Amino acid sequence: MRVAWFSPLPPVHSGIAAYSVDVLAGLRERHQLDLYVDDPVWHAAGGRLHAGAGPGIAPQAGPFDLPLYRAFDFPVQQDRAPYDLIVYQLGNAACHRFMWPYLLRWPGLVVLHDAALHHARAQALLADRRADDYRAEFRFNHPGIDPRVADFVVAGLQGSPYYLWPMLRLVLERARAVVVHSDPVRQALAEEFPEAPLTTVSMGVPDPWENADRRTPNAEVPGTGYRVPGTGEIADRQTPDADGTRDLPGRSPTVEQARRLQQGNAERRTPNADAPGTGYRVPGTGDIADRQTPDADGTRDLPGRSLTVEQARRLQQGNAERRTPNAEAPGTGFRAPGTGENVERGTLNAEGPGTGNRAPGAGRTSYAEEQAATPHFRLPPPDVEAKAEGRLPKADLVLAAFGVITPEKRILPILRALAVIRDEAPHVRLRLVGEIGEHYALWQDVARTGTRDLIEVTGYVDDEQLAAELRGADVCLCLRWPTARETSASWLRCLAAGKPTVVPDQLSIVDVPTIDPRHWQLKHDRSDAASVFQPPDASRAVAVSVELADEEAMIRQALRRLVADSDLRRSLGERARAWWEAHHTLARMQRDYTRVMEWAAGLPLPEWPADAPPHLHPDPAERARRMAAPFGVEVDILR
């Protein structure tokens, strides 16, 4: 089957781009695939702009060396040799904007990653100053709603309208077929659009343990080695490296570890005996180094951590501007030696909570400036082997959240819960794996809750780093609200890693057995007749779910129990892994795609809705007619 494939692809930082590559890996041997992408992806692949419809349209090499074309090339290619099926990977983000003209003009199989498209469609139209077109599309998608609702969005008062009115009708009525990733979502859409050809495909994610030695402590012979899961074999215990660490098999040494080995530990830092508690001193020098958290080998330099711009500047200037605590005003900031000026602290400033940081001679900074000035903490992932062996200090029970860091990930309720339980669980830290959202003042929320010492932020990580982060986490927090009813790929990755997860109680997971942290009883289970004779059993729970109405209290209760109960963490993690193996592997997703694509290719093309807004299917000759009309000229060819 010849297939045109519209999707964001790497290097776009999008979960759907990674998902698309995973699907293509299983389809490339079965179908002839041509990939159509937006200009940034085309240019990243080495493409150049070209004009005309001549024979010179040449593709670039996409993933797996599949032909990669600019989306603008599609009409010519389709006219020359029509495809058997067109697939659109459609989500509620700006990186999908380029495919809208094509999916409306050439219907195909729409893979609907988000059951709400209002955000992306409104922003695309309003960015082009097409407010009237946006109003017309809103009226078409929601004919029973007061059309003045669209005026709120045009005026910049988005928020709730985006989630209350998802603007799906146009896509569902123009699609040849529609795929979603959750049966509850399919049922909800089928009730609203009974004529739409809807089906489901299981979302699959890769196994984060696939290219790693998945070793766990050997319970039978404590302290003697590791046992490979699923076998009775005891793996050899590794000999410590020269720097005192034990590298996980298959893990390359970090740059910092290599530097240490090359220099024979010449620069290993030791506590500063001259000024206990104030910092660390490089042996053989009088320089006081920055105080840092101990790493696994007892030193204070963190392997794999790259220098920030500020650190590099300090080193270049010979520690001339090294900062020490301001003894005159404890808690208010830091003072550069030899000056009376307080420089930015990285948490609260003297002006008050939540106001930002202050530099010498400057006023209050905006949160955007604060975000830009605050470095990501690019720490290495937790050492799985060291953790399993018990060599890490007790302060290393890792809670992790994955993806772009936004308020919708419920970061503030999580921070508030940590602030409450921190005295009960001082060994816990929160690791945020992803970029900080452009409009989210994360550090203000951190300062407001007093949890700065519990937080680590990695910045964007690639797939290999992501797998390492998943393996190193102890509990994964996969919360999101409001939601576009999407299936969370990051949550599925946590299940694949065999981790206990905390999730929101929402539509997309009502068919997943979860446990309620208020009473630790099963919340969601099967709804078939057999369940009447088989009472709910909490031992079947795959995750812990929290309700929005009692969110903060339930997060606190969930974290208290999960942090304290290692048996519960282990049992939830085992069932999570089993759920992934049964429902969300890449092989299953690829099989589902083969079935659905064959089904969709046999469906008829839909007709244009009679009441569709005129701007969606304009007459290409209309402008020529208007120009010729004053002269009384009517050209038949323009009919």
What one-letter code names the amino acid at 620? P
Q: Is residue 512 domain-shared with residue 597, that is, in the same domain?
A: no
pLDDT of residue 623: 78
pLDDT of residue 201: 93
Q: Can you tell me the distance from the alpha carbon of 280 to that of 499, in angstroms, rounded to the nearest whole number?
A: 36
Does residue 31 lie within any of the structural domains?
A: yes
Q: Which domain holds residue 574?
A: 384-584
Evaluate whether 515 touches 529 at the Cβ level (below 8 Å).
no
Q: Is residue 554 domain-shared with residue 598, that is, in the same domain?
A: no
Q: Can you tell me the distance from the alpha carbon of 508 to that of 148, in angstroms, rounded to the nearest whole number?
A: 31
pLDDT of residue 533: 56
Q: Can you tell me the distance from the alpha carbon of 318 to that of 316, in angstroms, rounded to the nearest whole number?
A: 5
Q: Of 439, 305, 311, whose CA–CA distance to 371 is shortest?
A: 439
Does residue 612 lie within any of the structural domains?
A: no
Does residue 527 lie within any of the structural domains?
A: yes
Give whole-number Cα distances, 126 to 155, 156, 159, in Å: 10, 10, 15
Q: Is residue 596 domain-shared with residue 508, that is, in the same domain?
A: no
Q: Is residue 440 domain-shared with residue 532, that is, in the same domain?
A: yes
pLDDT of residue 230: 36
Which pair of tokens denotes residue 608?
Answer: 């244009």
Q: Is residue 441 domain-shared with residue 520, that is, in the same domain?
A: yes
First and final CA of the chain: distance in angstroms? 35
**What is the DSSP code (8-state) at residue 456?**
E
> Into how many domains does the chain fold?
2
pLDDT of residue 331: 39
Q: Is residue 575 domain-shared with residue 600, that is, in the same domain?
A: no
**Is residue 638 helix, strand or coil?**
helix
pLDDT of residue 627: 85
pLDDT of residue 527: 54
pLDDT of residue 438: 81
pTM (global) more than 0.85: no
pLDDT of residue 95: 92
Q: Is residue 545 domain-shared with residue 565, that is, in the same domain?
A: yes
Does residue 135 lie within any of the structural domains?
A: no
Evaluate whether 470 touches 208 at the Cβ level (below 8 Å).
yes
Phi then psi for residue 81, to 5 deg, are -150, 95
Q: Is residue 507 domain-shared with residue 455, that is, in the same domain?
A: yes
Give whole-number Cα distances, 334 to 291, 328, 528, in Å: 13, 10, 63
Q: Is residue 38 domain-shared with residue 57, that is, in the same domain?
A: yes
Orientation of helix 489-496 relative to helix 463-472, angle to 10°: 60
Give percent helix, percent strand, percent coil of the chain, each to the nearest 5. Answer: 40, 15, 50
Q: Can you tell me the distance from the alpha carbon of 625 to that of 634, in angstroms, rounded to the nearest whole number?
A: 7
Residues of the chain with pLDDT under 50: 52, 214-379, 388-395
Q: What is the CATH number of the domain that holds 522?
A: 3.40.50.2000
Q: Is residue 516 domain-shared with residue 450, that is, in the same domain?
A: yes
pLDDT of residue 261: 38
Q: Can you tell me the distance from the alpha carbon of 435 to that of 404, in angstroms, rounded to the nearest whole number?
A: 5
Give whole-number Cα distances, 436 to 91, 215, 367, 440, in Å: 20, 32, 12, 7
Q: Of 407, 486, 506, 606, whose CA–CA distance to 166 is shortest?
A: 486
Q: Is residue 34 domain-shared with residue 181, that is, in the same domain?
A: yes
Omega into 360 within 30° of 0, i.e. cis? no
Q: Which spans in 128-254 are helix H? A: 131-141, 149-154, 160-164, 169-174, 183-192
Q: Of 185, 151, 161, 1, whose CA–CA distance to 87 is shortest?
A: 1
**In terms of C-beta density within 10 A (0-12 exposed, 13-18 middle, 19 or more buried), how is residue 445 classed?**
buried
Q: Is 233 left (phi over 0), alpha (psi -120 to 50) or beta?
A: beta
Q: Is residue 38 domain-shared with residue 19, that is, in the same domain?
A: yes
pLDDT of residue 27: 94
pLDDT of residue 382: 56
Q: Can you tell me the distance from the alpha carbon of 329 to that of 324, in angstroms, rounded to the nearest whole number?
A: 12
Does residue 9 lie within any of the structural domains?
A: yes
Does residue 458 lie within any of the structural domains?
A: yes
Evaluate whether 628 touches 636 at the Cβ level (below 8 Å).
no
Q: Can you tell me the distance from the alpha carbon of 474 to that of 398, in angstroms, rounded to the nearest whole number?
A: 5
∠232-234-237 over CA atoms, to 5°? 165
Contacts of 216-221 with CB under 8 Å at 24 or more apart are 216/388, 217/388, 217/389
Does residue 91 lie within any of the structural domains?
A: yes
Does residue 320 lie within any of the structural domains?
A: no
